[in-house]
Amino acid sequence: MRRLAPALVLSAVLLIVALPELAAAGPIATASRNCEVGSGRGYGTTYLLELSVRRTSCASGKDVVRAFHACRRGKAGRCSRRVLGYRCSERRFNKSRVSYDGRVTCEKGRRVVKHTYTQFV
């Protein structure tokens, strides 16, 4: 017991010192986070502009984006089925004769993958 007492005191002191820093760090985020997309090429669309995920990893988000665009047949095509278990909805804007932008939200339970892309036609 005498050997254990100094270790307990040291542990208590370290905990007291660390608590204010841990509290200042705030809660661990499960909110949306933006993912790096590099050049934006290679995702099955002309350019992937933005990618954000919530309650899933960026790697999984990129897989969902690739699966979504593989589901879209042709440059003007739409995906009307689930991809990797995610239900996706898309809104297109900034339409012109040469390109359009699309904003896609894919949900699987509480997991969310959102991305914005530009497609040249």
The secondary structure of 20-48 as a DSSP string is HHHHHH-SPP-S-EE---TTS-SSSSSEE
Question: For each of the chain's 121 residues, which pLDDT tens digit applies?
Answer: 555 455 544 454 444 544 445 444 444 445 789 999 999 999 998 999 999 999 999 999 999 999 999 999 889 999 999 999 999 999 999 999 999 999 999 999 999 999 999 999 9
pTM: 0.74
The pLDDT of residue 2: 54
| Interatomic CA distance for residues 43 and 37, integer angstroms | 9
The pLDDT of residue 114: 98
